[in-house]
Every structure is written in structure tokens, then in C-alpha cells.
């Protein structure tokens, strides 16, 4: 069975973009692949963060993933820092990575601007750690949203560079996109993101979600109820495509273009469909929060299973780069 790897940062609340862009797809892939999913805490420390909140955020993130169907019988779920081989492989990959390539990465340039006072080496090296995450499991496929494509392509390049220098070791992983790879925020202009204050949280109470949708930007050219709209320019329609039934999507497409329905009605249908899907997830999170030990056990056993794979690959890597001799044994 081919292996899949993907990760999510524990940097605050999981939002609808994470869910339809990645997590829902992760849950659908578990039957066809050997799936490894990770809460990437070492990535989250590349920007300023609240130390006292980190543990809680790691646990919350992992709990949501399980509530979305990523149970330990279906996949391996763990926390990145629990398997230190990720960072060990990062160091080795650092030594085949030209600095110039890292400086050209889109996310580094964006984050560098956002965090001008804290452009640390970790921020620059972020894609190398991500490549190590994927390649330490020799994963062939990486399900992510559109914003991560460049990072996955970079990991292919690292694999190529390592293989060329030290002999064939790593596969070149491929991106798997979901059918909603880019969800915009409630501002209708930029990607939905924890840091941009434009996100609908997966765990937001229904009345908060309803209010966020009510005030969310739609097609800017549709000023009045009687103006025909253009669903192709409307983020609410993109969300309908992620949450509504095909007949509802066709209905909205037609009646938006002909001003048959207004944005208020369109958003109400979306709200109802969204809650039908995420309401049960919220319920499972509440249930799991009653028994915190369950998540601790899930993450401990996930880390043990992943460590067994990572250790073996690191052994192979150490031999290939010449730092481990036969006399050292296992
Ligand atoms: P992160 O934590 O920002 O996001 C987790 C996943 O959610 C997707 N996503 C979106 N999809 C659609 N629309 C959006 N508005 C949206 N916002 C986020 C992301 O594409 C991602 O798939 N660097 C990664 C974490 C990572 C990783 C890895 C991923 C670390 N190592 C190895 C894959 C493989 C990140 O920051 O994702």
C-alpha cells in the first residue's frame, strides 16, 4: 500500500479552509493508503507563540483530527516533536539545500514581511523540515491545500538532490489536492487563515458561524438584491461547492445569476448544510474532551508506530551519508 503523509500546525483554531482543503480529504484517503498524519509543533515555533498555550493547542488540534474520522484504527496520528528523527533528517537535508532556493519560497517571503522583527533561521528552513516530515516515511503522496504545493515540490527536489549525491533512497512525493484546495476568508479577498482574522472556526458555535457568514463578502458587483450575481466571483459559492448537494449548487448557480435568490437566502442554505456536516464533529470533540486520557494514549501509540519507521529510515540515511559504520551495529 502506498504511503501518505500530511501535517497541520497547532497554531490556533482549525478553520473551514483546513477542513475542506485538507482534513476531510485525509479522512477519505484512509481506506486506500497507509496514512500518516502529524501535528507539526516544531513548524509552529518558527513564529512567535504563547508557550503556555502550546500543549493545549497540540491536544486540541489532534482531538479535532480524530473527531473528523482520523481514528487510530484508520491511520497513524502523532505529534512531530515526539519523533525526533524528523529534525535529525532536517539537518542532513540542510546540507544538500542551497540557501538561495529557500530565500525564494513564497511563504518565506510572505512570513518574512509579516514577522519582520523575527526572521529566524527556522522560518527560512521551514520547507526543509517539511521535506523531512514527508521523506522520513518515504511517503509517495501528500494531500494538502493549494498553498502547500510549492513546499511539496520542494520536497521532491530535496529527494532528487539526496538521491543524486548518496544513491537512490527517497521517492519523489506527489501532491494530492482536495476538491476545495483554496477557500477564501470572510473578507472574500485573501486565503482563509488563522492569522488574517477572516476564518470560520470548525469549532465556532453555530450562532458565531451564522454571523460570520451573514457579514461575509460576496460578489462585490452585486450591490442590490435585484442585481444578478456571478457565482464564479463569490467565495460563498465556493463554500457551497464544498458543503452543498449537487442539485442545490445548480439551483444557486442559476438563481444567483438571474437574481432569483438574494445573498441572505443563499447564505442561510450554506449555513444549514455546513452545520449538518460540522455539527456532529463538534459533538464528538465535546465528547472526547470528557476523557483527555484517550488522546494522550492515541498520540503515544501513534508516535511509537511512526518512530519504528523513522528509526529504520534514519539508519539507512546515516549509512548512506557515511557517518554510520557497520561496526556500530543497530
Ligand atoms: P497548515 O497548518 O497551514 O494547514 C493545514 C492544511 O490546511 C490547508 N489549508 C487550506 N486549504 C484550503 N483553503 C485554505 N484557506 C487553507 N488554509 C490551509 C493547507 O494547505 C494544509 O494542507 N506547512 C504545513 C504543515 C506541514 C505539512 C508537512 C504538510 C508541515 N509538514 C508535511 C504536508 C506535509 C502547514 O503549515 O499547513
CATH number for the domain spanning 282: value is 1.10.240.10
- Domain-located, residue 38: yes
User: Which residue out of 113, 138, 194, 212 is catalytically annotated?
Assistant: 194
Backbone angles phi, psi at 4, to 5 degrees: -115, 140
Contact call for residues 282 and 203 (beta carbons, < 8 A): yes
Active site residue 307: no
Average pLDDT along the chain, 330 residues, taken 10 residues at a time: 96 94 98 98 96 97 98 98 98 98 97 94 98 98 98 98 98 97 95 92 98 94 89 95 97 96 96 98 98 97 98 97 83
The residue whose C-alpha atom lies closest to atom 4 belonging to ligand 1 is 8
- Contacts of residues 118-124 at CB distance under 8 Å and 24 or more positions apart, as own/partner, are 118/47, 118/48, 120/46, 122/45, 122/46, 123/46, 123/47, 124/99
Query: Which entry of 76, 111, 138, 212 is annotated as an active-site residue?
Result: 111
Residues 215 and 69 placed together within one structural domain of the fold: no
Q: Is 191 a catalytic residue?
A: yes
Distance from residue 195's CA to the centre of ligand 1 (Å): 13
Any idea what the CATH number is for the domain that residue 41 is in?
A: 3.40.50.620
For residue 213, what pLDDT is reported? 97
What whole-number distance in Å separates Cα of residue 77 and Cα of residue 8? 11
Domain that holds residue 211: 194-286
pLDDT score at 57: 97
| Residue 329 placed within a domain | no
**156 in a structural domain:** yes
The three-point CA angle 218-223-226 to 5° equals: 105
d(CA 145, ligand 1 centre) in Å: 6
Active site residue 194: yes
Q: Which atom of ligand 1 is nearest to the CA of 18?
A: 7
Ligand 1 shell residues, CB under 6 Å: 5-9, 17-18, 21-22, 40, 43, 130, 133-134, 142, 144-145, 147-148, 151, 181-183, 191-192
Cβ neighbors of 40 (< 8 A, separation 6 or more) are 7, 8, 9, 10, 80, 129, 130, 133
Q: Which atom of ligand 1 is nearest to the CA of 192?
A: 15
Whether residue 173 is found in the same domain as residue 259: no
Query: Do 75 and 56 fall within a single domain?
Result: yes
Task: Indicate whether 257 and 145 sit together in one domain.
Answer: no
Does the residue 264 lie in any domain?
yes
Q: What is the number of structural domains in the chain?
A: 2
pLDDT at position 221, please? Answer: 85
Q: Scan for cell 497540540, then name that residue.
A: 58
pLDDT at 12: 84
Task: Return the pLDDT at 312.
Answer: 97
Q: Judge if 44 and 148 occupy the same domain.
A: yes
- Please give the model's pTM, rounded to 2 decimal places: 0.97
Cα of 87 vs centre of ligand 1, distance in Å, is 19
User: Do residue 267 and residue 300 come from a single domain?
Assistant: no
Give dist(CA 58, CA 224) in Å, integer. 44
> Ligand 1 mean position to 222 CA, how many Å?
32
pLDDT at 328: 79
136 falls within a domain: yes
Provide the pLDDT for residue 330.
Answer: 65
- 10 Å Cβ neighbour count for 297? 12
Residue ranges with strand state E in the chain: 3-8, 34-39, 76-79, 141-144, 174-177
What does the alpha-carbon distance between residue 193 and residue 227 come to, in Å, rounded to a whole number?
30
Pick from 330, 318, 329: nearest CA to 162: 318
Which pLDDT score, from 0 to 100, does residue 195 have? 85
Q: How far is the CA of 65 from the centre of ligand 1 (A)?
A: 13
Amino acid at each position: 500500500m502506498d504511503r501518505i503523509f500530511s501535517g497541520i500546525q497547532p497554531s490556533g483554531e482549525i478553520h473551514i479552509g483546513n477542513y475542506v482543503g485538507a482534513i476531510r480529504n485525509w479522512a477519505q484517503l484512509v481506506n486506500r493508503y497507509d496514512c500518516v498524519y502529524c501535528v507539526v509543533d516544531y513548524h509552529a515555533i518558527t513564529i512567535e507563540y504563547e508557550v503556555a498555550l502550546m500543549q493545549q493547542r497540540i491536544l486540541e488540534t489532534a482531538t479535532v483530527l480524530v473527531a473528523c474520522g482520523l481514528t487510530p484504527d484508520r491511520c497513524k496520528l502523532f505529534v512531530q516533536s515526539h519523533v525526533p528523527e524528523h529534525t535529525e533528517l532536517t539537518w542532513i537535508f540542510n546540507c544538500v539545500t542551497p540557501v538561495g532556493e529557500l530565500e525564494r519560497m513564497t511563504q518565506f517571503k510572505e512570513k518574512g514581511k509579516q514577522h519582520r522583527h523575527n526572521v529566524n533561521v527556522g522560518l527560512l528552513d521551514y520547507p526543509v523540515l517539511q521535506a523531512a516530515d514527508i521523506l522520513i516515511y518515504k511517503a509517495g503522496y501528500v494531500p494538502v491545500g493549494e498553498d502547500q504545493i510549492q513546499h511539496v515540490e520542494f520536497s521532491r527536489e530535496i529527494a532528487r538532490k539526496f538521491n543524486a549525491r548518496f544513491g537512490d533512497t527517497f521517492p519523489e512525493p506527489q501532491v494530492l489536492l482536495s476538491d476545495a484546495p483554496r477557500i477564501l476568508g470572510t473578507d472574500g479577498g485573501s486565503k482563509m487563515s488563522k492569522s488574517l482574522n477572516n476564518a470560520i472556526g470548525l469549532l465556532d458555535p453555530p450562532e458565531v458561524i451564522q454571523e460570520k457568514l451573514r457579514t461575509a463578502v460576496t460578489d462585490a458587483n452585486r450591490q442590490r438584491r435585484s442585481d444578478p450575481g456571478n457565482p464564479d466571483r463569490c467565495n460563498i459559492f465556493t463554500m457551497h461547492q464544498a458543503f452543498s448537494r449537487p442539485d442545490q449548487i445548480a439551483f444557486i448557480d442559476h438563481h444567483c445569476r438571474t437574481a432569483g435568490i438574494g445573498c441572505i437566502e443563499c447564505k442561510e442554505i450554506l449555513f444549514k448544510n455546513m452545520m449538518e456536516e460540522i455539527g456532529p464533529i463538534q459533538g464528538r470533540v465535546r465528547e472526547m474532551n470528557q476523557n483527555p486520557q484517550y488522546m494522550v494514549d492515541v498520540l503515544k501509540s501513534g508516535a511509537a508506530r511512526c518512530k519504528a519507521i523513522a528509526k529504520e529510515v534514519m539508519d539507512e540515511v546515516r549509512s548512506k551519508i557515511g557517518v554510520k559504520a557497520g561496526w556500530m551495529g543497530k
